[in-house]
Structure 1
Amino acid sequence: MTFFTRTALPLLAGVSALTMTAALAEPTQELIDAAKAEGTLTTIALPHNWCGYGDVIAGFKAKYGLSVNELNPNAGSADELEAIKANKGNTGPQAPDVIDVGLSFGPAAKDEGLLQPYKVSVWDSIPADAKDAEGYWYGDYYGVLAFGVNSDIIADAPTSFADLTEAAYANAVAIPGDPRSGNSTMMTVYAAGVAKGGEAGGDALNKGIAYFKGLKDSGNFVPVDGTSQNLAQGTTPIYFDWDYNLLAMRDTLAGNPPVEVVVPSDAVVAGVYVQAISAYAPHPNAAKLWMEYIYSDEGQTLWLKGYCHPIRFNDMADRGVIPQDLMDKLPPAENYAKAVFPTLDQQAQAKTAVADNWAKEMGIQ
């Protein structure tokens, strides 16, 4: 899979003048009216501090006057698919209209018949290798795996996966949750395997499991979920997550305690998250209008404000519509120069490996 970083400003191959026109398109009044008649959008797994979702949701409500029913903000990608399955015949408030999941979950959901296709008006400016050709799912933003460090507790921050094995970081390292159900955690294990020389796919994932088993055996791994609260309190003074989550956490803590965000030098693994509409969405027009909003220049700019790299970054940069003050708040571009994007096949292999081996190797249920 070939993607781009914010250093790659030229348009991707194949993006034409037609795309430039499409990038400025607006949803039809017919769609807006139909969505307003439904009145509500039901989302799931969208914490407000994730990728700037608080501002994104507020912007959507302010622009179109719809209410947003937010389900289980802390759910993982697998939980989102289960919510669709559990509510196939339900048009009530527990049935999600839209999902935001890790890249590998998009094709799986399509194969299970859980999604309906919809191509947003800016479809042509979304890179071809970041979307389903039929419009069942499409990438919206990406980031890289990094770790946050509580500088009050750990003055000399590690810079790599290799550093984290040192005795100085005993009882310090955590991950966001269970890699069998959360994409960010699975990709953290994958990145550790890349740092250990693992080949792509299942090999990298299994080497990552071996890495974390080593951290557990040495006492460096903390077997609780890494969160901003646990980091601030010192329970997990180092924990992994996507860079945009950690940068937002750093800003929220405002120096109490000071937090350093580190992109590990020995493995820079990027991950794309994708959007999709439930095949059983109770509010299908509101779902389509939501897609139009988050892929518009306005919505994509809000991703960047939340420290995510929007999928239409190159197109927007070429047209000069990205505010410079947002660019200035991002980490140095060289931090992303070595980023690799695991393919769908590689992620599928990783999902199989983590399901088969994580619990067995880590001694958990």
Structure 2
Amino acid sequence: MRTTTLRVIAVTSALAIAAATPVASLAQSMDELAAAAEAEGTLSTIALPHSWCGYGDVIAGFKAKYPNITVNELNPDAGSADELEAVRANKDNTGPQAPDVLDVGFAFGPQAKEEGLTQPHKVATWDTIPDDAKDADGHWYGDYYGVLSFVVNTDLVENVPQDWEDLLKPEYANSVALAGDPRASNQAILAVMAAGLARGGEAGQGSGEAGLEFFKELNEAGNFVPVIGKAGTIAQGATPIVIAWDYNGLAWRDTLAGNPPLEVVVPASGVVAGVYVQAISAYAPQPNAAKLWMEYLYSDEGQLGWLKGYCHPIRFNDLAQSGKIPQELLDALPPAEAYEAAVFPTLDQQGGNKDAVTGGWDSVVGANVQ
């Protein structure tokens, strides 16, 4: 049986937690913030599929706690780049198409801040968020992480691949897909990085270039399917193998309930962990509802909601050390050993990789993923 201690050690070493910085006091008390948010009456989210990280239950929990706030869910299948574009496109729009909050890949947080697309807010639990997973000014902060894995329909795939090079085998013809467009989706961009690292590429531009060569070979071999993979495409047989975050694969497995059976495999090499971050739009039509949403997400209740969705919440260590994580939630995750070799790319490494992948996918791989 896995223990809390094992996972605390794994996460601590991976994130290299530094001493916490003093938390900025909330400008409003929670009661005042809740009243102001309820007066606004709406929260507009974007890119939050209900199967992603347990968001369906997390949103339901927020609604139950604040029944006077309607949650307007925009474009659940959007990628991180799409989220930033939604803020840009709606900065002069206070209507329902303007998102209040963002959940984007790590590299997209600083980009959004630099463009002036975010506003600062430090949640009450600010001190328990690792320093290297948050902006010092409160413009963005890590929320959860997972590792990239192979999600396999075992009704269609007899020999389940265990590492990246396996995917090039002829038996996987017309079988392998990404869970997003690598020109816009953080999940897909980091999948290319993982393949590149497995090939010996150095994290950053090198991993991006090596990963592009891998996917070029995969495409030329006839194994790559240019379809965005998800539970439905796996079940239909259109994408028998999907490269996706472990938490997405585990959620899809639960959703499909054995029809078909899925196996989620953390590859033997090129294990990349991806931290996602939260932010509030600088142009949020409902800024108080946005702040209240953040307070909920970073409360114990919100963090455990993500863990129920198979994501490691950013406050995992704090919750574990205070004995707040039920053992059954730990037991539902892959073994702690699967995460021991995980690489947590720095912002600079992610930025170099992202530039290589988004700039070179069309010319090197030439597959229009949609």
Relative to the length of structure 2, the TM-score reads 0.93
Determine if the alignment matches structure 1 residue 322 to structure 2 residue 325. Answer: yes
Give the deviation of 1:9 after TM superposition: 7.4
User: Is contact 1:209–1:361 with CA below 8 Å preserved after alignment?
Assistant: yes
Q: 1:138 aligns with which of 137, 141, 144?
A: 141
Give the deviation of 1:328 after TM superposition: 1.0
User: Is contact 1:5–1:336 with CA below 8 Å preserved after alignment?
Assistant: no
**Alpha-carbon distance between aligned partners in 1 of 2:304 and 2:104, rounded to the nearest angstrom:** 20
**Alpha-carbon distance between aligned partners in 2 of 1:364 and 1:192, rounded to the nearest angstrom:** 17
Change in CA separation of 1:302 and 1:201 when aligned onto 2, cut-off 3 Å: same
User: Is contact 1:173–1:221 with CA below 8 Å preserved after alignment?
Assistant: yes
> Aligned Cα RMSD in Å?
1.9
Determine if the alignment matches structure 1 residue 71 to structure 2 residue 91. Answer: no
**Alpha-carbon distance between aligned partners in 2 of 1:227 and 1:298, rounded to the nearest angstrom:** 27
Runs of 4+ in 1 over 3 A off after TM superposition: 9-13
Change in CA separation of 1:166 and 1:27 when aligned onto 2, cut-off 3 Å: farther
Partner of 1:262: 265
Partner of 1:298: 301
User: Is contact 2:52–2:248 with CA below 8 Å preserved after alignment?
Assistant: yes
Cα deviations across residues 97-124 of structure 1 (Å, max 9, x unaligned)?
0000000000000000010000000000
Unpaired segments ≥5 residues, structure 1: none
Cα deviations across residues 283-311 of structure 1 (Å, max 9, x unaligned)?
00000000000000000000000000000
Partner of 1:173: 176
Determine if the alignment matches structure 1 residue 202 to structure 2 residue 205. Answer: yes
**Alpha-carbon distance between aligned partners in 1 of 2:350 and 2:35, rounded to the nearest angstrom:** 39
**Alpha-carbon distance between aligned partners in 2 of 1:233 and 1:10, rounded to the nearest angstrom:** 36
Partner of 1:126: 129
Q: How does 1:83-122 map to 2 (within 5 A)?
A: 83-122=86-125
Given residue 31 of structure 1, which amino acid in structure 2 is its aligned partner?
L
Determine if the alignment matches structure 1 residue 14 to structure 2 residue 19. Answer: yes
Q: Secondary structure of 1:198's match?
A: coil
Cα deviations across residues 58-116 of structure 1 (Å, max 9, x unaligned)?
10011012110000000110111111111111111111100000000000000000100
**Alpha-carbon distance between aligned partners in 2 of 1:305 and 1:260, rounded to the nearest angstrom:** 19
Give the deviation of 1:28 after TM superposition: 1.7
Given residue 295 of structure 1, which amino acid in structure 2 is its aligned partner?
Y
Q: Secondary structure of 1:6's match?
A: helix
Determine if the alignment matches structure 1 residue 188 to structure 2 residue 191. Answer: yes
Determine if the alignment matches structure 1 residue 153 to structure 2 residue 156. Answer: yes
Q: How does 1:240-279 map to 2 (within 5 A)?
A: 240-279=243-282
Cα deviations across residues 110-166 of structure 1 (Å, max 9, x unaligned)?
000010000000000000000000000000000000011111111220100011111
Bigger drift between 112-121 and 162-171 goes to 162-171
User: Is contact 2:18–2:132 with CA below 8 Å preserved after alignment?
Assistant: no
Q: 2:224 aligns with which of 221, 225, 233?
A: 221
Given residue 191 of structure 1, which amino acid in structure 2 is its aligned partner?
A
Partner of 2:364: 361
Give the deviation of 1:323 after TM superposition: 1.1
User: Is contact 2:79–2:180 with CA below 8 Å preserved after alignment?
Assistant: no
User: Is contact 2:19–2:131 with CA below 8 Å preserved after alignment?
Assistant: no
**Alpha-carbon distance between aligned partners in 1 of 2:100 and 2:178, rounded to the nearest angstrom:** 29
Partner of 1:49: 51
**Alpha-carbon distance between aligned partners in 2 of 1:278 and 1:310, rounded to the nearest angstrom:** 22
Partner of 1:286: 289
**Alpha-carbon distance between aligned partners in 1 of 2:202 and 2:355, rounded to the nearest angstrom:** 15
**Alpha-carbon distance between aligned partners in 1 of 2:6 and 2:276, rounded to the nearest angstrom:** 15
**Alpha-carbon distance between aligned partners in 2 of 1:9 and 1:79, rounded to the nearest angstrom:** 32
Q: Secondary structure of 1:224's match?
A: coil
Bigger drift between 157-166 and 168-177 goes to 168-177
Give the deviation of 1:363 after TM superposition: 2.4
Give the deviation of 1:210 after TM superposition: 0.3
User: Is contact 1:9–1:317 with CA below 8 Å preserved after alignment?
Assistant: no
Give the deviation of 1:223 after TM superposition: 2.0
Change in CA separation of 1:176 and 1:300 when aligned onto 2, cut-off 3 Å: same
Unpaired segments ≥5 residues, structure 2: none
